[in-house]
Amino acid sequence: MNDGTNRRQAVELLQQLGLKEYEARSFVALARRRQATAKEISETSEVPRTRVYDAIRVLEAEGLVETQHSNPQVFRAVPIDEAVTTLRTEYERRTESLRAALEGLEPPDEGEETEVTHEVWALSGNQGITSRTRQLIDDADSEVILVIGHEGVVTPELTDRLAAADQRGVDVLVGAGSPSLAETVRESLPDVDVFVSGLEWLSGSAVEDDATEISRHVLADREAILVSTFTAGDGGGRGHELAVFGRGFDNGLVAIVRRLMATGYGVGGDVAEAE
């Protein structure tokens, strides 16, 4: 990325972390120049000079900027590592406050809650699907079977969580849609059983012009599943992932996926016998 792209991305990310636009732009200008006067910050960031002082006061209160009380005043951003640590701490504090506030909400119905044993939900977007995948792996007590059809699913975070599940005694089995993808997984998870899927449709469709790929199948403790598909974007743009999530041993969707895994993935009788 070039300098302009980096600056725009930095401003956007700072705003997502809670800074207002002028604050974010002023901080990026300072981080780029190391130190500067309000006039120089204004020229670099295109923030009106009168608003620079307001932004600096906020940034200083947040521990992101230091001031030299000369004439004119000179400002400088704290070192990048210190700034990132400060922002992370604030983000975590806000997240914990949000958790407490949400947990303190009273349900509209004070009646006795019933346990949901059969449920199917739709998920959209890589972030939400990845989050649910993490949850299934982290919450598994006995077994996780993950079949990967799209290489974008394999990330360091995913392999770390699978390795952690394996280390705590969960049986982890990972399948891949191709030998090359299986080898990639083996390199990251040398202690986990990895196989190449026997389902040809995992990596392609029999329907002409169908660009949809099976992205991931997750079966946790044989009673919770997630199945997702990935569609590439037009002209090489960012693709989109969609998924369905089901829970409950007798759930029809869960049973179908469980049987597919037993008959087509080469994981054999263990899954089938559980039924």
pTM of this prediction? 0.63
Quick check: 67 and 75 in contact, CB under 8 A? yes
Ordered structural domains, the chain, with CATH: 3-102 (1.10.10.10), 119-273 (3.30.870.10)
Give the whole-angstrom CA distance, residue 192 versus residue 173: 7
pLDDT of residue 264: 52
The two tokens of residue 240 are 């989109």
pLDDT of residue 209: 56
Quick check: 220 and 137 in contact, CB under 8 A? yes
3-state secondary structure of 158: helix
pLDDT of residue 254: 73
Give the whole-angstrom CA distance, residue 274 versus residue 254: 13
Give the whole-angstrom CA distance, residue 198 versus residue 217: 14
The two tokens of residue 150 are 């799209």
pLDDT of residue 152: 79
Segments in the chain below pLDDT 70: 1, 108-118, 198-211, 233-238, 249, 260-275
pLDDT tens-digit map of 65-120: 999 999 999 999 999 999 999 999 999 999 999 989 998 887 766 555 555 556 77
